[in-house]
Amino acid sequence: MSLPLHTAQPSLSNPASVRLWSYLADVTGALGIGLESCTVDHDAPVSAYIALDGQLPAFPGRDVALLWDELHGWAAAVETHSGEDLIVIRYLGGPSVAPPASRVAEFAAAVRDADHRIGCLAPPRIRDLGSPADLDAVLRAGS
């Protein structure tokens, strides 16, 4: 189930929902964009999508997004022309799926600047899928 963040209601069956939305508000704020750019999918694994303004020189004509999920954390991706799955171009990686919002903003800037010193090409497995309460604890630790 994917809902725009600014109009969606927290999932009562997922205790991490409110904390995730708060985290995403911090991230979109650090990126200088509004919550209307974000959607959340509450199905396991929980994930989020943040549309970014502009395009990358290496991918002209393709929209850019940040993706987040509870297993791999943050990734940068570009839209396809055919409407298929997005093409992930880099993962942030690191010790947590919920790094500080400022770190996510640094990652987004590095992707835009083609600075390959931040991030990795292979998907990191930062954590295993756990219960919603486990995700809530991870998000709480990061805040």
Work out the percent of the chain whose per-residue pLDDT is above 70. Answer: 90
Q: How far apart, in whole angstroms, are the C-alpha atoms of residue 97 and residue 137? A: 12
> Tens of pLDDT along 117-133?
999 999 998 999 988 89
Q: What pLDDT does residue 82 have?
A: 77
Whether residue 9 has pLDDT greater than 50 = no
Whether residue 2 has pLDDT greater than 60 = no
Residue partners of 45: CB distance under 8 A and separation at least 6: 69, 70, 71, 129
Mean pLDDT, range 21-44, rounded to an integer: 94
> Tens of pLDDT along 59-94?
998 999 999 999 999 999 999 877 788 999 999 999
Question: What residues make up the domain containing 120?
Answer: 2-142
Q: Which of 73, 78, 104, 80 is nearest to 89 (CA)?
A: 78
Residue 117 dihedral angles phi and psi, to the nearest 5°: -75, -20
Q: What pLDDT does residue 13 have?
A: 61
Whether residue 140 has pLDDT greater than 80 = yes
pLDDT bin (cut points 50, 70, 90) of residue 6 is: very low
pTM: 0.88
Torsion of CA 48, 54, 58, 62, to 10 degrees: 70
Mean pLDDT, range 31-60, rounded to an integer: 93
Identify whether the C-beta of residue 6 lies closer than 8 Å to the C-beta of residue 31: no
Domain count, the chain: 1
Q: What pLDDT does residue 142 have?
A: 73
Identify whether the C-beta of residue 91 lies closer than 8 Å to the C-beta of residue 75: yes
